[in-house]
Structure formats: C-alpha cells, structure tokens
C-alpha cells in the first residue's frame, strides 16, 4: 500500500487528479476501483503537503450504444443519441439516462468517503464553448490525428475523416455522423444509415458550426482535451485502457502531438474478477456497485480494493460463499496488526497504510480506530439469528467491558451488514435453521459419551430450569465438566441435535431462545432416551 505514498513523494507542485466515466448503464462493482484509487492518491498527496484537486467527469455526450435497458420501441429512436439526451429509463427521477446511471454510481462512491472537489458533465462543458479551442486545433490537425491513429493503434481512417462527431440536427444522433470537410468555420457532416451497426442514421448532410455544443470530439481526443482544459497531472486508468496501442496510448500521443502538452501520470490498475460463478439475479442480487454497497459497509469495501496493489487483480466471489465474512476477518486482522496486536498468519507489508486508507474519514485517529473492539462478522451473523439475544450485551461480554459509542456503531453496522448478507449472498449453511420437525439425521454421529451428556443435561435442566443465555451457558458447561466431556464435544452434541451441524452460535443463547419443552424433548430424543435417565433401570 506504500504505492500511494511513494507516488506522492515523487511528484512536485500542485496536483490535479482526474477520472471520468461513460454512464452507459448499471455500473459494475469493479468500476469502484478507479474512484477508490483516485481518493487514496488524493489523500496521500494532501498528506504530503501537495495542493490537490480531485475531479470526476461524466462523459455523457457519448452515444447510447447499449440497448439492454431500452424498451423495444425506444431502440430505433434512442440508439446513437448522446446519453445525456436519452430519457431516464427508471422513470422521471433524473433528467436523462446518463444522469440516472451516473448519479446512482456517484452516490455509491460518495458513501465510500470519496468526495471529488468538482464533478463535471461533458454535456454541460461543450455548450459553454470551453471545448471550442480544442475542436479547432483537432480539425486543423486532422491529418496528424489520422496519422497518430495509424501509427499508435494501427487504425486506418479514410483520408476525408475528421476527428469530430456532430449531433445530427435532424435526428439528434451523434453515433451515426461523420465529418468529411472543415473550412475553418464550419464542418460538412453526413448522418449515415450504415456508419455503425448498432444505430441507424437519418441520411441528413450539410454544413454546420462545430462549436458551442453542436459536436463533440471522439473519445481519445476528448480525453486528451480534458487533460489540457483541467490541467490534469495524474489519471489512473483501468487495464483495458492501458494496453499497448489502446486508448491511453492514443490519448497520450494526441496530448503530446496535437494539444502539445505532456499527458498526466498513469497509475494502471487491474480488474476485480467476480470469481467463477456468475452473479445470479435470482434473489435480486448482482454485481452492480450499488447492490454490493448495500451489503458491504464502506470501510470494508474500500479495503477490498486497497488490500492488493493496483497492478494486482482482485478475485471476489460473494455469491454463496464466505467471501464477505472473510473480507471482514481480514479487515479486523489489519486493524489488530495496526494496533500492535499479534495476528495469526502472514500479513502484507504496508498493512498500516492499507488500514489507514480504508477508513472512511481521512482525518480519523488511526491508532484509536485500530484499537477498537470489533466482533467477528460470522459470529454476529449467527448471534443475530437467535431469537431473544441482546447482541450488544453479548459483544460487550466478549470484549470484557462496556462498548464505546463508536464500538456500538460498529456493532450496529455489522449487524445490518450480516442481515443484508444473509438475505443475499450467504451460503445456505450460514442460515441458522433450528430443525424443529425432527431430530436431524446428522445426530446419528453422536457417540455414547455425547449421548449420556445430553441425557445428563436434560436431567439438570428439568431439576433447575435455567433462564436466560448466561444460565444456560453455565449449565451446559457444568454438565460437560461432570460428564468429563470436553466443551468442544459438548457444544458439537448440541449443534448436531438442534441444527444438524457441528458448529453454531453460543449454544446457551440458542437454547435460551427456544421453547423449554421442545428443548427438553429434543435433548432426550438425541440422547436416545425418552424418560429421565434416573428413571430407567
């Protein structure tokens, strides 16, 4: 994690960190890696005394080219139009398709403590005329631009091709137009029926001013123009953009040769892979950024992206696995190590920086945060499923002292996360199901010692019925001690009898939450006796 601090130590002067996104639909959780990296770079720069501005742009004049979210009757009309001019498919909650999807995504990273100093929307920028000088330069140097595409990307544009896309004044599409002439004041455009396969132009052609929002630069030129317009010094880019001859190479060459400015420093970053299994939508769960953010709290989500270096891919497969509980456990391990406590297993160097940058508040007292008591996620997930358990007092008992306000906040956040996880990604085995109907078949694995223990426990609670989890816990232990059975095997006997598995939450609170008559009957049934042990010959 030292990479951000190393970067901050390497640059000088005021810094402008930028990223932008085309809001073409629901945004995948992996797309959060960019904003998280951007935020960490900004924090590291500021911590090193660099005056830093964080920008986030929305490339919403890009053409609509994904029809998945359009109704059949809208496809012909909307495909190829600027995303900013396509209506919100979710109704009228936003002024456009672009605003809708960008806003949903921005809300998610805002919740991760990522607060750019300025958001810019290209549909707002072009009409101001701020892009006009870049449009003029690009058109004047059209031959050079075509040459750069040939050299850098092996893309052969026709000799008449000019780097500009006009918004067709007749059909409103931008993905279907080509500019073939430039006279210094106006361009000649054609809206072609067959320019692209995914949208159909209307056939209009004519001369039009390229300025003031009538047209936009193609993506590679627009990107390079943004760098000049905003004075961008650092812009991390996903691996897909950073390949040889890819978008970043093209824009770098355009920045140098066309706009005559050194491109910003790149921090290429790898993808987040969602594992082998496809994210199902059966329970309304998916890989959308906003969906995962409803389950994984902000600090653990930041941690997911920050634990590996940017150039390492992230494997994350939450569907039906323990990936989410493991993420919490890892986070807690980094917290413990940062607090100077001994941790099990290896821990990556730079763990202190990883923990620090995972915190929501850049001004947080890192040592105090690291020292907080954090109950294990899996334990909370089980505890919360037992009826009648006061989770907070159980956690305080585990800690051995009262929880601070901040620790109570963490417990509340984790309980909410555990509930959301159980409703969405959790594997079936994490859902605590007391087998009320019949003795689980798994209880056949009980040995004689465990059976006599269960019988003895049934006797003990018949004589002196315990009330509450603590009392139950005490009698479970004392009966185990009397039977010379290890507590581990005693608990396993109870879990097998009630849950059909060998592990579970603290058994005292489980049993205290159930009907006493049912508990007694089940203990005896599992023990293989139906009457008190004392009453049999």
Binding site for Zn ion (CB under 5 A): 88, 90, 93-94, 100, 168, 170-171, 191, 201-202, 204
Instruction: Return d(Cα 382, Cα 103) in angstroms, integer.
Output: 35
Per residue, the 3-state secondary structure of 147-177, as one string, reads HHHHHHHCCCCCCCCECCEECCCCCCCCCCE
Strands 165-166 and 118-121: unpaired
By C-beta, is 95 or 481 nearer to Zn ion?
A: 95
User: What angle (nearest 5°) sits at the alpha carbon of residue 191, between those of residues 185 and 196?
Assistant: 125
Nearest distance from residue 218's CB to Zn ion, in Å? 18
User: The tokens 């159909």 sit on which residue?
Assistant: 200
Smallest gap from residue 106 Cβ to Zn ion (A): 12
Q: How far apart are CA 189 and CA 139, in angstroms?
A: 13
Q: Are 100 and 93 in contact (CB under 8 A)?
A: yes
- Give whichever of 90 and 367 is closer to Zn ion, judged by the CB atom: 90
The candidate with the shortest Cα–Cα distance to 22, out of 53, 55, 63, is 63
Cα–Cα distance list, 13 to 10, 115, 245, 255 (Å): 10, 22, 30, 20
Nearer to Zn ion, 169 or 387 (CB): 169
Instruction: Tell me whether residue 205 or residue 228 sits nearer to Zn ion (CB atom).
Output: 205
The widest CA-to-CA distance across the chain, in whole angstroms, is: 110
94 vs 136, which CB is nearer to Zn ion? Answer: 94
User: From the centroid of its chain, how far is CA 144?
Assistant: 41
Q: How far is the CB of 146 from Zn ion (least distance, A)?
A: 24
How many angstroms separate the Cα of 40 from the Cα of each of 32, 233, 356, 382, 536? 12, 15, 10, 34, 70
What is the spatial distance between Cα 140 and Cα 476, in angstroms, rounded to a whole number?
85
Question: Measured from the CB atom, is 14 or 169 closer to Zn ion?
Answer: 169
Q: Which is nearer to Zn ion, 218 or 375 (CB)?
A: 218
We find the least distance from the C-beta atom of residue 288 to Zn ion, in angstroms, to be: 14
Q: How many CB atoms lie within 10 A of CB 419?
A: 16
| Per-residue tokens: 159 | 């000799």
Residue 68 beta carbon to Zn ion: minimum distance, rounded to whole angstroms:
16
Rounded to the nearest whole angstrom, what is the least distance from the CB of residue 191 to Zn ion in the complex?
A: 3
Q: Residue 138 or 167: which CB sits closer to Zn ion?
A: 167
Residue closer to Zn ion, measured from CB, 167 or 527: 167
CB of 170 to Zn ion, least distance (A): 5
Is there a contact between 112 and 360 (Cβ–Cβ < 8 Å)? yes
Q: How far is the CB of 109 from Zn ion (least distance, A)?
A: 17
Asked if residues 141 and 250 have their Cβ atoms less than 8 Å apart, the reply is no
Considering the complex, what minimum distance in angstroms separates the CB of residue 177 from Zn ion?
7
Closest separation between CB of residue 517 and Zn ion, Å?
Answer: 54
Sign for the CA dihedral angle at 233, 238, 243, 248 comes to negative
Place of tokens 């491109």: 263
Give how far Cα 443 sits from Cα of 435, 438, 484, 492, 502, Å.
11, 11, 20, 10, 9
Give the nearest distance from C-beta 444 to Zn ion in angstroms: 56
- What does the block give as tokens for 417? 């996360």
Q: How far apart are CA 384 and CA 392, in angstroms?
A: 10
How far CA 489 is from CA of 334, 376, 386, 435, 459, in Å, comes to 32, 22, 21, 20, 19
Least Å distance, CB 142 to Zn ion, is: 22
User: What end-to-end distance do the CA atoms of the chain give, in Å?
Assistant: 69
C-beta closer to Zn ion: residue 191 or 446 = 191
Pick the closer one to Zn ion by CB: 200 or 379.
Answer: 200
Token pair, residue 328, equals: 């919490």
Tell me the Cα Rg of the chain. 31
Tell me how far apart the alpha carbons of residues 443 and 156 are, in angstroms, rounded to a whole number: 72
């Amino acid at each position: 994690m030292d990479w951000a601090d190393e970067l901050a130590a390497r640059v000088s002067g005021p810094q402008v960190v930028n990223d932008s996104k085309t809001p073409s639909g629901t945004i995948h959780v992996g797309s959060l890696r960019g904003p998280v990296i951007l935020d960490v770079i900004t924090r590291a720069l500021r911590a090193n005394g660099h005056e830093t501005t964080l920008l986030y742009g929305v490339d919403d004049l890009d053409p609509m080219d994904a029809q998945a979210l359009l109704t059949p009757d809208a496809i012909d009309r909307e495909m190829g139009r600027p995303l900013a001019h396509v209506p919100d498919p979710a109704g009228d909650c936003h002024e456009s398709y672009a605003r809708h999807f960008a806003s949903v995504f921005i809300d998610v990273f805002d919740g991760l403590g990522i607060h750019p100093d300025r958001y810019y929307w290209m549909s707002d920028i072009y009409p101001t005329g701020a892009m006009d000088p870049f449009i003029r330069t690009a058109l004047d140097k059209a031959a050079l631009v075509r040459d750069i595409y040939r050299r850098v990307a092996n893309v052969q544009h026709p000799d008449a091709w000019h780097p500009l896309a006009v918004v067709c004044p007749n059909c409103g599409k931008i993905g279907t137009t080509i500019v073939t002439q430039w006279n210094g004041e106006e361009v000649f455009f054609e809206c072609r029926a067959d320019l692209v396969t995914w949208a159909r132009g209307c056939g209009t052609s004519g001369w039009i001013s390229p300025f003031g929002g009538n047209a936009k630069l193609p993506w590679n030129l627009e990107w390079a123009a943004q760098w000049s317009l905003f004075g961008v010094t650092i812009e991390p880019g996903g691996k897909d953009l950073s390949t040889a001859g890819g978008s970043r190479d093209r824009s770098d060459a355009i920045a140098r040769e066309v706009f005559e400015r050194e491109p910003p420093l790149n921090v290429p970053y790898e993808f987040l892979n969602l594992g082998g299994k496809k994210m199902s939508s059966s329970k309304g769960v998916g890989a959308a950024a906003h969906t995962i953010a409803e389950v994984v709290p902000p600090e653990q989500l930041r941690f997911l992206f920050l634990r590996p270096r940017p150039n390492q891919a992230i494997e994350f497969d939450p569907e039906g696995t323990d990936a989410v509980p493991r993420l919490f456990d890892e986070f807690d391990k980094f917290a413990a190590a940062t607090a100077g406590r001994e941790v099990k297993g290896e821990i990556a160097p730079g763990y202190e920086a990883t923990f620090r940058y995972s915190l929501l508040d850049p001004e947080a007292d890192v040592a105090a945060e690291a020292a907080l008591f954090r109950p294990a996620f899996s334990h909370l997930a089980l505890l919360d499923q037992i009826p009648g358990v006061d989770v907070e007092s159980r956690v305080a008992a585990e800690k051995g002292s009262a929880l601070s306000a901040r620790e109570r906040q963490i417990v509340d956040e984790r309980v909410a996360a555990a509930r959301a996880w159980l409703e969405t990604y959790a594997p079936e085995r994490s859902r605590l199901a007391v087998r009320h109907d019949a003795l689980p078949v798994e209880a056949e694995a009980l040995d004689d010692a465990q059976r006599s223990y269960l019988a003895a426990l049934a006797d003990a609670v018949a004589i002196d019925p315990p009330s509450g989890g603590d009392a139950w816990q005490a009698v479970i232990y004392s009966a185990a001690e009397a039977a010379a059975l290890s507590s581990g095997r005693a608990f396993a006997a109870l879990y097998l009898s009630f849950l059909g598995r060998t592990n579970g939450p603290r058994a005292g609170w489980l049993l205290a939450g159930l009907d006493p008559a049912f508990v007694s009957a089940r203990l005896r049934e599992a023990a293989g006796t139906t009457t008190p042990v004392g009453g049999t010959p």
